[in-house]
Structure 1
Amino acid sequence: MPEAASVGTDWRLLGCAYVRFFITNDKVNQRLLESHPFDLSASVGRLAFTVIEEVLFPEVFGVETNSSYREVDSLRRRDAEFGAAWLRRVRYRRQGLGLTLRPIRRSRHVAADIARMLCASWAHQHSPHHPTVKVCDIVPVMLDDLRSGLCCSSEYPTDP
């Protein structure tokens, strides 16, 4: 991982890889990434923050990143589900800053949360009653789209 910092890697890409390994049950690669628990935890936290802000909020709740604070606060007070998502956003932000205990356990929990958020946004876009679609089918495709968006973003790479 020190090598990645030298070439300007966006650390959320590491989170994408970890979620993919977690969902596909690739234990070997999952354990390999878990060998640097604090860097992994921060990466997964940053990815979760990005997913909740750029995928879940706009798709499920209709809240854009440029929405006014009054709109967001009003929705947070009225809608308990959005309020809970807002609190998770705060936790992800703290984890992205590296402020977490039990980093491997937290990373696994947040990887599952990311998969649930991606599935919820997919279900909101498409038919929520698709019995033939499985999580392991949807999430990797959505992660590829997210990863390609992160690779092309103009944002400066983040440090763990």
Structure 2
Amino acid sequence: MPEALSVGTDWRLLGCAYVKFFVTRDHHNQRLLERHPFDLSTSIGRLAFTVTDEVLFPGVFGVETYCSYRVVDSLRRRDPDFGAAWLRRCRYRRQGLGLTVRPIHQSRQVAADIARMLCSSWAHQHCAEDSSVRVCNIVPTMLSDLCTSLCHSGEHPTDP
């Protein structure tokens, strides 16, 4: 863990690992990441912000966050679900910047939110109403894809 927390680590990848451990119920590794509650809160916040912007908004609502302010604000006013998602996005951003530190039980709640966002996006993309598809089957695959895109995005790693 200390090596993972060194400068140069993309903190969203730590968030991906935590969500994967949370969903697959790998309690041993989940507890290892929970030893550093501030770092966990920050990494989960950064990942939740990224998932909201890059997965949920385009996949579920069909809007990119870099659209004009008028388009986003109009959708926020018309669609209560988008408005609620936008407020959560603002909360995740504050958490990811370290402005609001969440205790471990709230970080677990954000991890569950991330899993729900990924499942919502998957369901909208695949028009799935199939109840046989389980969260623990979809989320790890989507997290792997997200980790791959984060590693190859060419961005500089985020510092704590």
TM-score class, shorter-chain normalisation, is over 0.9
Distance 1:102 1:8, change over 3 A: closer
Aligned residue in 1 for 2:45: 45
* C-alpha displacement of 1:97: 1.2
Q: Distance in 2 between matches of 1:5 and 1:153?
A: 20
Deviation of the 1:7 alpha carbon: 5.7
**What is the rounded CA distance, in whole Å, between the counterparts of 1:19 and 1:80 in structure 2?**
27
Q: How far does residue 133 in structure 1 lie from its aligned partner after superposition?
A: 0.5
Query: Hey, what's the Cα distance between the residues in 2 that align with 1:21 and 1:37?
Result: 16
Deviation at 1:2, TM superposition (A): 4.4
1:19 alignment counterpart: 19
Letter in 2 for 1:46: R
Structure 1 segment 120-159 matched on structure 2, within 5 A = 120-159=120-159
The structural deviation recorded for 1:5 is 4.8
Identity %: 76
Deviation at 1:9, TM superposition (A): 1.2
Partner of residue 87, structure 1: 87
- Unpaired runs of 5+ in structure 2? none
> Which residue does the alignment assign to 1:71?
71
Contact 2:7 2:159 in 1 (8 A): no
Displacement of 1:65 after TM fit? 3.2
**Paired residue secondary structure (1:3):** coil
Equivalent position SS for 2:4: helix
Q: Provide TM-score, normalisation by structure 1.
A: 0.95
Structure 1 stretches of 5 or more lacking a match? none
Shift of 1:102: 4.0
Residue aligned with 1:42, SS: helix
Cα distance in 2 for partners of 1:25, 1:2 equals 23
Question: Could you tell me the TM-score, scaled by structure 2's length?
Answer: 0.95
Q: CA deviation at 1:46?
A: 0.2
Q: Report the 3-state secondary structure (helix = DSSP H, G, I; strand = E; otherwise coil) of the residue aligned with 2:122.
A: helix
- Equivalent position amino acid for 1:97 in 2: L
1:35 match: secondary structure:
coil
Please tell me the root mean square deviation across aligned C-alpha atoms, in Å.
Answer: 1.3
Instruction: Measure how far apart 1:156 and its partner are.
Output: 1.0
| TM-aligned CA deviation for residue 89 of structure 1 | 0.1
> Number of aligned pairs?
160
Aligned 8 A contact 1:5 1:159 in 2:
no
Work out whether residues 42 and 101 of structure 2, in 8 Å CA contact, stay in contact via their aligned partners in 1: no
The answer as to 2:106 corresponding to 1:106 is: yes
| Structure 2 residue identity aligned to 1:88 | R
